[in-house]
Chains A and B, each alone.
Chain A
Amino acid sequence: MNAAILPGASAGQPEFLLAVEALTVSFDGFKAVNDVSFYVDPDEIRVIIGPNGAGKTTVLDLICGRTRATSGSIKYKGSELTKLSESAIVQAGVGRKFQTPSIYDDLTVFENLEISYPRGRSVWGALTFKRDAAVRDRIHEVAEMIFLKDHLTKRAEFLSHGQKQWLEIGMLLIQDPELLMLDEPVAGMSVAERKKTAELLHQIIKGRSVLVIEHDMKFVEDIAHRVTVLHQGKVLSEGSMERVKNDPKVVDVYLGH
């Protein structure tokens, strides 16, 4: 499914939003990611699954520049990411949510969201940044979506675990990335929170590509367009959830031991 091509893409332009090719990284001889290739279309929701230590988080780290690739290429909208700095990658339109909620405890919810607002990112820009109506309205809009509109002046450290996760999702949302990467967005949440989060994710993935790492298979089935299975740093299988579920290699890895 979903062979969508960007409406405005002219002939000869790469049709993939993200093209990962022959990506390899080795730590001290150990290849955590070994010759991994996959392609993400615009507006596609791709879920990466795999056992612990399969290299899922490392792949996200490589895409967002947190870890440097030993070899291989990552092309985003046709341009190479492996040489860019982290902040340049973000500015190109790639957003990343970490596994454990990563928010600023000492700042209020409002300030947390404000920092993620994509304006005034240079030193000078930040110094002269004005908290105008556009900023304020956008923050209130996002706060409403992430169920935190009544907590805007609360210091983030006093939020619950689930609220912190939402806040981080909100911070990404305000950033408005074209490629959104989420590392286990529902991990550690209560059942009620999980349901709310699924709702939230359905809402925010509209109009952008999403790369998700998740263990919750029901959740995966619910949202994934396609699934990539990683095992020991390599791509084991890829395709629709249906296909992957019935792939004997995948069954073997998940159930064989």
Chain B
Amino acid sequence: MFGDYSLGDLGAIFAMQGFAGLILFSVYVLMALGLAIIFGQMGVINMAHGEFMILGAYMTYLCSGFFQAHLPGLFPAYFFVAMAMAFLASGALGMLVEWALIRHLYKRPLDTLLATWGLSLILQQAYRSIFGAREVGVELPSWMMGSIQATGTIEIPINGLFVMAITVLITLMVAGLLFASRYGKQVRAVMQNRVMAGAVGIDTGRVDRLTFGLGCGIAGVAGAAFTMIGSTGPTSGQLYIVDTFLIVVFGGAASLLGTIASAFSISQTQSTLEFFLSGSTAKVITLLAVVAILMLRPQGLFTLKVRR
């Protein structure tokens, strides 16, 4: 498949597809970050994670419409408001769900999987009833369109860079929160030994709720970024849950850096392959490779040998 291109062309193609994959990478990282925190701490797989992302996307859509209609002067800045709204809406819903549903199901991870799937069906239908079955798109402010001409053949899309920057910022903030704050210490304590953490006076229920909310909130921000690469529909989030979970597992569930590295490799593989093959074949090959590697190395790529 590379035969028809010169070496220089190939370099440019890889670079271009790499930059084009930036948004996909950002969406993956943000989604996977939320999922990894929740999975790492509670052993819970949130199958409705994609729907939390889509909630963020719909919030962005609403903000875009609102600014266009009522505050056209501030439209260039609406995306920042949209991301904050996306975070708050998804985070609040996440905390509600944790309180109403998830906390009753700790120690039954397979059942949580089914219950959150049920939740995802309900959310999908709710979106359909509220926003309609048709997919909606978001209008970007003009400064985010277009691209920077880096060399003769390489263009870097501005929105890609912007989302990338936001992702880096959020990742750093999450890392800071987990590794430097009191809350982070509590989270890690609960992660490592729930019973002991409870015994030394940590309100594990509260930590769980905050963590679940945080994970869902980050998914909401991922949804805001998602509006730039796809149109938003009630079921748009569904396929992302599989991809995202594979990323989390591929990176070795508890490792933040591993999650980022695996999101990067998967999004870049897919994005590069898409240039040469059809989208579906690229997806099949990427997923097959990940599943095959996971079958050979189920503990993920970036984990250490620890005592069971």
Direct contact of A and B (CB under 8 A): yes
Residues of chain A whose beta carbon lies under 8 Å from any beta carbon of chain B? 27-28, 32, 58, 66-67
In the complex, what distance in Å separates the CA atom of A67 from the CA atom of B306? Answer: 11
Q: Is the CB of B304 within 8 A of A28?
A: yes
B70 at the interface (CB under 8 A from A): no
Q: Sorted from nearest, which 10 A-B pairs have the closest CB atoms?
A: A27-B307, A28-B304, A28-B305, A27-B306, A27-B305, A28-B306, A32-B307, A67-B308, A67-B307, A66-B308
In the complex, what distance in Å separates the CA atom of A201 from the CA atom of B304? Answer: 40
Q: Which of A27, A32, A58, A66 has the most CB of B within 10 A?
A: A27
Q: What are 11 A-B interface contacts by the 8 Å CB criterion?
A: A27-B305, A27-B306, A27-B307, A28-B304, A28-B305, A28-B306, A32-B307, A58-B307, A66-B308, A67-B307, A67-B308
In the complex, what distance in Å separates the CA atom of A67 from the CA atom of B305? Answer: 11
Residues of chain B whose beta carbon lies under 8 Å from any beta carbon of chain A? 304-308
Contacts of A27 in B (CB 8 A): 305-307
Q: Does more than half of chain B's interface fall in helix, strand or loop, or is it mixed?
A: loop
Contacts of B307 in A (CB 8 A): 27, 32, 58, 67
Contacts of A28 in B (CB 8 A): 304-306
Give chain A nearest CB distance to B282 CB in angstroms: 37
In the complex, what distance in Å separates the CA atom of A63 from the CA atom of B308? Answer: 15
In the complex, what distance in Å separates the CA atom of A66 from the CA atom of B308? Answer: 9
In the complex, what distance in Å separates the CA atom of A67 from the CA atom of B307? Answer: 8
Give chain A nearest CB distance to B254 CB in angstroms: 14
In the complex, what distance in Å separates the CA atom of A28 from the CA atom of B305? Answer: 6
Give chain B nearest CB distance to A164 CB in angstroms: 20
In the complex, what distance in Å separates the CA atom of A67 from the CA atom of B308? Answer: 8
In the complex, what distance in Å separates the CA atom of A28 from the CA atom of B307? Answer: 9
Q: Which residue of B lies closest to A28 (CB)?
A: B304
Q: Which residue of A lies closest to B304 (CB)?
A: A28
Give chain A nearest CB distance to B87 CB in angstroms: 36
Contacts of A32 in B (CB 8 A): 307
In the complex, what distance in Å separates the CA atom of A239 from the CA atom of B286? Answer: 60
In the complex, what distance in Å separates the CA atom of A102 from the CA atom of B144? Answer: 61
Give chain A nearest CB distance to B302 CB in angstroms: 14
Give chain A nearest CB distance to B299 CB in angstroms: 13
Contacts of B308 in A (CB 8 A): 66-67
In the complex, what distance in Å separates the CA atom of A73 from the CA atom of B305? Answer: 21
Q: Which residue of B lies closest to A61 (CB)?
A: B308
Give chain A nearest CB distance to B305 CB in angstroms: 6
In the complex, what distance in Å separates the CA atom of A28 from the CA atom of B308? Answer: 12
Extra contacts, 8 of them, besides A27-B307, A28-B304, A58-B307 (Cβ < 8 A), are A27-B305, A27-B306, A28-B305, A28-B306, A32-B307, A66-B308, A67-B307, A67-B308
Contacts of B305 in A (CB 8 A): 27-28
Give chain B nearest CB distance to A159 CB in angstroms: 22
Give chain B nearest CB distance to A249 CB in angstroms: 26
In the complex, what distance in Å separates the CA atom of A58 from the CA atom of B308? Answer: 10
Give chain B nearest CB distance to A12 CB in angstroms: 39
Give chain B nearest CB distance to A98 CB in angstroms: 13
In the complex, what distance in Å separates the CA atom of A158 from the CA atom of B292? Answer: 43
Give chain B nearest CB distance to A83 CB in angstroms: 18
In the complex, what distance in Å separates the CA atom of A51 from the CA atom of B305? Answer: 25
Q: Which residue of B lies closest to A68 (CB)?
A: B305
Contacts of A66 in B (CB 8 A): 308
Contacts of A67 in B (CB 8 A): 307-308
Give chain A nearest CB distance to B9 CB in angstroms: 45
In the complex, what distance in Å separates the CA atom of A58 from the CA atom of B306? Answer: 13
Give chain A nearest CB distance to B300 CB in angstroms: 15
In the complex, what distance in Å separates the CA atom of A37 from the CA atom of B212? Answer: 49
Give chain B nearest CB distance to A75 CB in angstroms: 24
Q: Which residue of A lies closest to B307 (CB)?
A: A27
In the complex, what distance in Å separates the CA atom of A32 from the CA atom of B305? Answer: 13
Contacts of B306 in A (CB 8 A): 27-28
